[in-house]
Structure 1
C-alpha cells in the first residue's frame, strides 16, 4: 500500500516520463516528414528541382511566422498545455493533407501552414517542461538536455523508418503514420501533462545588437548561417542525388541520415566536455574543417560504404555547430544571453531560406552533384569568417549560460 508521500514522489516522475515519451514521439513525427520531403515532391507532386527548393524556402518563411506568433502568444496568455494539444491536432491534419493531396500550391499554402503548427508543438512542450521543472524543483538544464536527447534519438530511428514506409507502402501510409503519431502525442499531452499558469520564460528576449565584440559576433553569425545553409542544402539535395544520379537504393538516404543523427549525440556531449579546456573558437574551427572534408568527400566518393563513413565527418560538423555555436555567441555577447540565443537560432532559419532557393536553382540549371560543390565554397567562406574572429576569453561561468529551447526535431536536422 502506497502512502500519500510515496505517491507524491512518484507522480512527478510519471509526469517527467511522459515529457520524455512525448519528446521522442514528436521527434518521430517530424523525422517521418522532413527526410523524404524532396523525394515526395519530386516523384509524387512531379515538381521540378527549382520548385522543390522553392517549397523549402516557403516552408521556412511560414514556419518562422507561425513559431514567432505562437511563441509570443504562449508567453502572454492561455494554457500552454492546450496550445500543445491544438498544435498536435493541426499537425495531424497537415499530415493527412499531404497523404491525399498532390497539388503543389495547396500543399505549400495549407499543408505547410498546418504542419508548421505541428512542429511548433515541440518547442512549446520544452517550454512547459521548463515550467514544470521550476515548479517541482528539478534541475532544469539537465532535464532539458535529456529531453533533447530523446529528440536526437528519434532522428536516429525516424529517417530509416520514413524511407521504409514510403518505399514499401507508399507516401500515403508514411504520412498517415505521422498523423497517428501526432494524435498519440496529443492524447498523451491531454492525459499526462500538467496545466500551469503562464510564466514568461526568462530566456525570451527581443533581438538586439551586440553591445560588445560586435564585429566578431557578426562574423560568427555569417559563419553559422553559411554552415547551416550547407547542411540544409544537403538535406534537400542528398536523397535526390542518390536516387537520380548515383542510382543507389532509396533507403540508403534514410540510413545515412539516421547514422549521422546517432553520431551527433556523442559528438555534442564530447564537444561540451572538451570546450572547457580548448575553448569554443577552436572547436568551431574543427567543425569547419570537418565540413570541408565532408563536402569534399561527397564530391569524390560515390560508393555506399564511403558515403556512410563520411557521416562521421558530418556528425562532427553539425554536432559541434549545434552544441557549441550558441555558447560561442553568448561568450561574444556577455550580459545578452537571450539576444545571443535568438541570434544563433536565426542563423538556422536564414539557412533554410537560402538553401531552398540555392539548392533548387543549382539542381535545375546543372546537376544535384553541383550543389555539393557550392556547399564546399560556402564552407570555405565560413572558414574565412571563423579565422577572422579574435580569441575572446569566456566572460561568463559555464553554469550561468542559457540553454536554448529547441526550434525543431533535432540537432542539425532542423525542420523548416
Structure 2
C-alpha cells in the first residue's frame, strides 16, 4: 500500500508542484516530464538488472525509499527548474523502481503468482486513493504539503523495507508447486520474449489511448458533461481491484496465456461497445469489460514476464517499461480522431483491431513448444 501510494501521490501532482513552486510554464512542464520519464525508463532497466546480478532485492528497495525522501526534500528546496530536473532524474528515476523491485523480490523469494497479483491489487487501490488525496492536500494546504506527505510515506517505506530485511531469515515462503503454476515451463527464447514484449506494448498503448481521450470523447462525441469521463475512469479503476483479486484465485486453475486471452477478448468487446455507445449509462456499464481487460494485462502480465524471463528484476522492469512505451505509442492512435469523420470512435475501433492482432500474436508465441529455449541461449543466460 505504501509503495503504491508513494508515487500515486507524486506523479499526478508533479505538474501542479512544478507550476506552483517554480512557476513552470506548460511547455516547460512538458519537457521536464519527458526527461523525468526517460530517466525512469533507464532506471527500471539498470537497477533491477543490478539486483538480479546480486540476487538481492530488499536492499535496493530500501535505497529507493531513501531516495524518495531525498527527492521530496530536493523538490521542496530547489529554486530553479534545471535543479528540479536533476533531482527528478538522479533521485526520482531510481526511486520510482521501488514497486518493480518489490514484485521481483516476491518472485525471487518463492511467493506464488496469486500473491504477486494480490499485491498488484493493493497497488491499484493505492492509485485509486492517491490522486484524489494529492489534490485534496494541494487544495487545502498548498503544493509544498504534498512533498511533506511524500516524505512521510517514504519514511514508512524505509521502515517496512527494513522490517522485511530483518525478518527475511526468520520465515521463507514455500516455492510454488506445479499445481499453483500451470505455466511453470522453461523460459521462452529471446525472439519470443521480444514478441510478447511488443504485444504488451500494443495492449498498453490501447489502454493509455483510452485514458487520454476519455474526456474529449465524453464532451465532443457524446456531448455530455466532462464529469462522466472522471466517473467512467473511476469506475474502471475501482472494478480493477476485485478483478485482480479474482484473477489471483484463477491462476490456480488457468494458465497465464488463457487469462490474458480472456482479457483481450474483454478488451475487444469494450472497444467495440465504445464505437457505438450513445450515452452515460452504457459508458459506465462498459467499464466492467475495461476493468477485466486492464486487470489481466497489469496483473497476469507481471506473472507472465516473470515466468518467461529467468531474472525477476529484469522481467518486472521490462514489463513496467511496456507501459511507458505504450504511452508513447498512443500518440499516433489519438491522432486518428482528426483523420476520419468518425472522430474518437475511430480511435476505439483501431484499438479493437490492435487488440485482436495482439491476441492472435500472443497465442502463437505461447503455443506448445514456444516456451523452450535453445541450449546456447540457456548457456548465455547463465553466463550473464
TM-score by length of 1: 0.62
**CA distance, structure 1, for counterparts of residue 165 and residue 188 of structure 2:** 31
Q: How far, CA to CA, are the matches of 1:52 and 1:237 in structure 2?
A: 20
Against the structure 1 CA distance between its residues 88 and 344, is the aligned structure 2 distance closer, same or farther, given a 3 Å change threshold? closer
Corresponding residue number in structure 1 for 2:145: 173
3-state SS of the aligned residue for 1:45? coil
What corresponds to 1:286 in structure 2? 265
Q: 2:208 — aligned with what?
A: 232
Using CA pairs under 8 Å that are at least 6 residues apart, name the structure with larger relative contact order, 1 or 2: 1
Structure 1: unaligned runs, 5 residues or longer: 1-23, 398-416
**Shift of residue 42 of structure 1?**
7.3
In the alignment, the residues of structure 1 paired with residue 214 and residue 77 of structure 2 have an alpha-carbon distance, to the nearest angstrom, of 25
* CA shift in 2, pair 1:344/1:191, >3 Å: closer
Superposition deviation, residue 52 in structure 1: 5.5
Partner of 1:25: 2
Distance 1:178 1:236, change over 3 A: farther
Query: How many residues are treated as equivalent by the alignment?
Result: 346
Is 1:47 paired with 2:20?
no
Q: Does 1:209 align with 2:190?
A: yes
* Equivalent residue number for residue 265 of structure 1: 241
- 2:101 maps to 124
Report the Cα distance in structure 2 between the residues aligned to 1:92 and 1:59, rounded to whole angstroms: 17
- Give the equivalent residue in structure 2 for 1:317: 293
Partner of 2:254: 276
CA positional deviation for 1:184: 1.9
CA deviations 1:112-140 (Å, max 9, x no partner) are 43222222222333444556x55xxxx54
**Secondary structure in 2 matching 1:35:** helix
Q: Structure 1 residues 54, 338: CA separation in 2 closer, same or farther (over 3 Å shift)? A: farther
Aligned CA distance change for structure 1 residues 194 and 108 (closer, same or farther; 3 Å): same
> Structure 1 residues 340 and 68, CA, compared in 2 at 3 Å: closer, same or farther?
closer
Q: What's the counterpart of residue 159 of structure 2?
A: 187
Residue 382 (structure 1) aligned with residue 363 (structure 2): no
Kept in 1, the 8 Å contact 2:39–2:93? The answer is yes
Match of 1:84 among 61, 64, 79: 61
* Alpha-carbon contact 1:79-1:195 (below 8 Å) kept: no
Q: Deviations over 1:374-395 (max 9, x none)?
A: 4653442332343466666566
Aligned mates of 2:217, 2:45 — CA distance in 1: 33
Q: Indicate conservation of the 8 Å contact 1:89/1:183, yes or no.
A: yes
Tell me the secondary structure at the aligned position of residue 276 of structure 1: coil
User: How well do the aligned residues superpose, as a CA RMSD in angstroms?
Assistant: 5.0
The equivalent of 2:71 in structure 1 is 94
How much has 1:64 moved relative to structure 2? 2.6
Q: Paired residue for 1:72?
A: 49
Q: Can you list the C-alpha shifts for 1:378-416, whole angstroms capped at 9, x where unaligned? A: 44233234346666656699xxxxxxxxxxxxxxxxxxx
CA spacing shift, 1:96–1:288, aligned 2, 3 Å:
same
> Who is 2:11 aligned against?
34
Tell me the TM-score normalized by structure 2: 0.67
Distance 1:180 1:238, change over 3 A: farther
Closer/same/farther in 2, CA of residues 359 and 41 from structure 1, 3 Å limit? farther
Seen in structure 2, the aligned counterparts of structure 1 residues 338 and 347 have a Cα distance that, compared at 3 Å, is same
**Cα offset, 1:145, TM superposition:** 4.0
Structure 1: distance between partners of 2:86 and 2:347: 29
Range moving further from structure 2, 173-182 or 29-38 = 29-38
Q: Residues of 2 paired with 1:192 and 1:388: CA distance?
A: 40
Give, in angstroms, the shift of residue 159 of structure 1: 2.7
